[in-house]
Chain A
């Protein structure tokens, strides 16, 4: 089992650009959640997908959007990047909602 995989590992973007981050869940997991982690802070919930639908959404602006595909993989899109969007973006998958979460290695996004 490959575990949760995220791509790319690192990314540098310019203010105003758009970015897409990708996540493949563990085999057999149908629930994918995305988190943003600033330095020295705990991860903050962005949104959760279950059966290709956005099930829950945290307090993030509409610039943050996502998608889940039929194979349960997921994308996180951020438009009009701001310097404050620089963070570690983490993807987690679970067998279903309210079960153990397994995280990927994260994508380090730097906005310059």
Chain B
């Protein structure tokens, strides 16, 4: 089973700042099959990024994903008020289980 570790657990930033979130895998994620999701309180997760670096439909270009192997990053170039939420990474490169990281809480400073 691939274990995903997200850091930091909580990130405190102000609107307009740049956010960098990390997701590290315990072993290489094949084909860079890694996704990022955004979740706001009381809502279902929403797909942001798939295949490590491809934005999902309708996702603003201030969101970008990068990485390969065991190290992946989600970057939000300039934070908007609606971007403060919890972010989850998920790998789907191997056979099940399709594991998630524990999440990063992006909060307003």
Asked if chains A and B come from one complex, the reply is: no
